[in-house]
Chain A
């Protein structure tokens, strides 16, 4: 770019750069600095690795890290798989497609907190519809969905899958509709059944979309907070179902340990960076159009 062009462009970019500097890069840099602070309070700075030492030995942090990985490893692929099924059904209907698309998209635009209250009621041990349903239909014993430390994890995962369906379905429907219908005509002439056409034509052609959803899904899953905190945060003070961001939240607002929260944030940042780089590498390998 010419010098004059740069000078002109910088003025247009400046507002966005200022906002990002103030609200993203300064806090990020500050968090990295604080993570190396020996003391809990930012006012009292002493450089050391003590916080990281504490972090890697902390049982709660390990649980949170494990939960986050489990959540991501289950929610992302399961949600995408279910979304592919629903999206493929959506695109195969002609009438009322927009109507159903809207229905499926509504969870995305509703607040996680509001929805979580509804789910908290559904999963209530004594009065919840889920237990009522399972008890009456399959005579299952009551499950303590939200309060049993061994179950709460999976309750959060089920909720997380449901939450992420909406966005995935929307993107996948759009992706599937953008496949040139000519390919399906060719597949018909070539004697391909609907299933064959779906597996051997639709899926490969929307694979860039799926790769994108994996990246976004993993990043979002790693940052999961609302779903966990609103669903079980108040009921189960046990940390058994906590995730990384909940751990960070608690470090700040319960323990008032800014150094610990910063160190955990840096770990989260590193994990997300590695995963993003990895999924970008994978999607560059699965480029079918080369």
Chain B
């Protein structure tokens, strides 16, 4: 089912100052297409969880409207929205066993006893917990609790599934397999899913679409790869991607882009100070020759990490800035080696400086 938000606004009373308010979600409008898995991504406090709770009906709105398909559900009680919700700490009822936890929403919906039994076994099979049905939540591992929470959310066949940081309580390995699991379940059931996370890698890996939020606003919406390649501004550019994009001070002068004393080629933009961004894989290393290469910046290798498939370098550029570089394993340099790096075509980004544009928007990718 399609979900639309129109100018959704949520304010909280400020804890520090009485009579003041904090705007958690500020006139957010968005559209989530039916059957897709969409991530709400942003640093903590950006309003992503509040937005999710608002969609679930657990957070009243101060302004705006929410639609499920064509239906306006803005004032509909959470008990009647019929969505599935997976809480960050799972919120499994501790006094009920797994079977009772999963049947709870079905009993509330007045299902027949036999239908409930059948459905419990069915969702248990989907999330692969058929052997745990008689356990209490306290007898389950974190990953198993997580599956039970998903099973409970899926039990009543909801048109919408909401997940609030569902992987944050799992260890790294489990996080990896569980997110693929969630993706698999979402694909098999075709349920419209919103997934809240602060982990950009998580968001990139499983979602059809990513919505990046900050300070209660939506910064950018799009396919993960699209956002990675065309970040709207400096914040998104550094937030998306791991290791993060390298940011260097740049200068536009006489039709050329300069990093310190090194010219990086012709750019036809008005003169001024800019931020130059380049992702770790956008750097090409060369051995330092007698004659400096055109458009290359001298650098020294500070640290090398071999990651099996690739090598991760910490470099110090001639201008003094530290950068991260990822290369294939076949071109190896040693620590303390003096090299030079080139910035690859179309992997260079120019962002406005705060002086010209508070949002530090992307000016050019070249």
Instruction: Quote the shortest CB–CB distance from A184 to chain B (angstroms).
Output: 9
- Do the beta carbons of A185 and B138 come within 8 Å of each other? no
Interface-lining segment among A42-50, A146-154, A156-164, A192-200? A192-200
The residues of B that contact A193 with a CB separation of less than 8 Å are 79, 108
Instruction: Quote the shortest CB–CB distance from B317 to chain A (angstroms).
Output: 49
Q: Give the complex CA separation of A71 and B158 in angstroms.
A: 52
Does A5 make an interface contact (CB < 8 A)?
A: no
The residues of A that contact B136 with a CB separation of less than 8 Å are 289-290
Known: A182-B87, A290-B136. A190 touches B95 (CB 8 A): no
Instruction: Quote the shortest CB–CB distance from B231 to chain A (angstroms).
Output: 34
Q: Give the complex CA separation of A192 and B105 in angstroms.
A: 7
Does A19 make an interface contact (CB < 8 A)?
A: no
Q: How many A-B residue pairs have CB under 8 A?
A: 62
- Do the beta carbons of A189 and B108 come within 8 Å of each other? no
Which residues 102-121 of B have a CB within 8 angstroms of A?
104-105, 108-109
Does B282 make an interface contact (CB < 8 A)?
A: no
Give the number of residues in B that approach A within 8 Å (Cβ atoms). Answer: 27
- Do the beta carbons of B95 and A191 come within 8 Å of each other? no
- Do the beta carbons of B91 and A185 come within 8 Å of each other? yes
The contact of A205 among B78, B94, B108, B138, by CB within 8 Å, is: B94
The residues of B that contact A192 with a CB separation of less than 8 Å are 79, 104, 108
Does A183 make an interface contact (CB < 8 A)?
A: yes
Give the number of residues in A that approach B within 8 Å (Cβ atoms). Answer: 21
- Do the beta carbons of B78 and A183 come within 8 Å of each other? no
Q: Give the complex CA separation of A290 and B97 in angstroms.
A: 10
Does A174 make an interface contact (CB < 8 A)?
A: no
- Do the beta carbons of A180 and B91 come within 8 Å of each other? yes
Closest partner residue, chain A, to B156 (CB atom):
A191
Q: Give the complex CA separation of A34 and B153 in angstroms.
A: 67
Q: Give the complex CA separation of A185 and B79 in angstroms.
A: 9
Instruction: Quote the shortest CB–CB distance from A181 to chain B (angstroms).
Output: 10
- Do the beta carbons of B87 and A185 come within 8 Å of each other? yes
The residues of A that contact B81 with a CB separation of less than 8 Å are 189
Does B275 make an interface contact (CB < 8 A)?
A: no
Which residues 196-211 of A have a CB within 8 angstroms of B?
196, 200-201, 204-205, 207
Known: A185-B58, A290-B136. A191 touches B91 (CB 8 A): no
| A-to-B contact residues, CB < 8 Å | 180, 182-183, 185-193, 196, 200-201, 204-205, 207, 288-290
22 contacts between A and B (CB under 8 A): A180-B91, A182-B89, A182-B91, A183-B91, A185-B78, A185-B91, A186-B91, A186-B93, A187-B104, A188-B57, A188-B58, A188-B77, A189-B85, A189-B105, A189-B153, A190-B108, A190-B152, A191-B156, A192-B104, A192-B108, A201-B93, A290-B138
Given contacts A193-B108, A200-B104, 9 further A-B contacts (CB under 8 A): A185-B58, A186-B91, A189-B58, A189-B81, A190-B108, A191-B108, A191-B156, A289-B136, A290-B138
